Structure 1
Amino acid sequence: MFFETYKIELIKTGFLLLTLLIVRFVLTTLITKISRKKGINLARIHLINRYVSVTLFLIALIIIPFIFGTEAHDLVVIFSSVFAVIGIGLFAIWSILSNITSGIIMFFSFPYKVGDKIQIHDKDFPLEGIIEDIRAFQLHLRLENGDLVTYPNNLMLQRAVTLIQKDAIDDDSIADI
């Protein structure tokens, strides 16, 4: 009964999802090719591709209710309620929002990349190691003794950092980790 009632909507949804999958494949292929030509780090290419996938998923979540006949004002009420709850939750845990914002800033203007050896000048806990990964919330730093330290992105922007050696490790050894 459900499938008969919403047959056209389900077909449109399937077509939308197929189209978005094709767009995702084309975009990730283009991003990968262009990034490799420009010498962008493999870890950063994967991060960009993840952002593309999440963006296309959000686009699908916005379009699908319209396919099933939802009015725009109904979606506005739903989204405003969801964003209000998220806003209150993020305000209550501001450090997460701070780390996400710092992650975005680091993504576009961070002078260091995966494989660089850096020293973080923290008064209480100075660190020196090789950047293994830069994520949305934290940076992974491998110390000389082999320990892996996750360092919050917001602190990376607040502390002085010295670049000791550019590309201390190469992309192939990162993929093996």
Structure 2
Amino acid sequence: MFFETYKSEFIITGFLLLFLLIVRFILTTLITKISRRNGINIARIHLINRYVSVTLFLIALIIIPFIFGTKLEKLVVLFSSVFAVIGIGLFAIWSILSNITSGIIMFFSFPYKVGDKIQIHDKDFPLEGIIEDIRAFQLHLRLENGDLVTYPNNLMLQKAVTLIEKDAIIDDGMDAI
């Protein structure tokens, strides 16, 4: 009885989900092609593709209740309550969100790539090394002494950075073997 009553809503929902899957496929394919052409690290490509998937999932969660006839006022109350709880929880972990946001910004506009030798002009802790990896939360920088430094993405966007050498070779000491 329930499925017969909402048969047209289920069909519309199915079409919506199919449409969003097609949009996801197109977007992830475009992001992957453009990113590979620009030499962006595969881990960063997968990260942005996950962000696209989550965004499309959230869009589906917002649209589906309207398909089933839910009134806007009821959804506003629900979402405002959920966002208030999430906001309080996220305020406690704002630096994580700051690093995720910085990771997204760095994906689209970061002028340095894996293998580049950079210098970070930090008054308290200046660094110079080769970028080994750029992740969602941090950048991995290999120093000349072999130490691996994990540097938060949000600080990368706040500090001045100088490109010392493009595509520097990481010397791991294995050449002598």
| TM bin (shorter chain) | 0.7 to 0.9
Query: Which of the pair is proportionally richer in helix?
Result: 1
SS at match of 2:119: strand
Tell me the CA shift for residue 122 of structure 1.
4.2
Measured on the aligned residues, the alpha-carbon RMSD in Å equals: 3.0
Contact 2:114–2:167 (8 Å) recurs in 1: yes
Higher Rg of the two aligned structures: 2
Give the letter aligned to residue 74 of structure 1.
K
Tell me the CA shift for residue 4 of structure 1.
4.1
After superposition, the Cα gap between the structure-2 partners of 1:59 and 1:146, relative to the gap in structure 1 and judged at 3 Å, is: farther
Residue in 1 aligned with 2:172? none
Contact 2:98–2:154 (8 Å) recurs in 1: yes
Matched residues, number? 169
**TM-score using structure 2 length:** 0.73
Residue in 2 aligned with 1:91? 91
Residue in 1 aligned with 2:154? 154
Q: Which runs of 5+ in 1 are unaligned?
A: 170-177
Following the alignment from structure 2 to structure 1, what is the Cα–Cα distance between the partners of residues 146 and 67? 52
Contact 2:48–2:104 (8 Å) recurs in 1: no
Q: Which runs of 5+ in 2 are unaligned?
A: 170-177
Give the letter aligned to residue 120 of structure 1.
I
Contact 2:141–2:149 (8 Å) recurs in 1: yes
Question: After the TM superposition, which residues 10-89 of structure 1 pair with which residues of structure 2 at under 5 Å, given as runs?
Answer: 10-37=10-37, 39-43=38-42, 44-89=44-89
Following the alignment from structure 1 to structure 2, what is the Cα–Cα distance between the partners of residues 19 and 112? 36
Following the alignment from structure 2 to structure 1, what is the Cα–Cα distance between the partners of residues 142 and 166? 15
Which 10-residue stretch deviates more, 62-71 or 26-35? 26-35
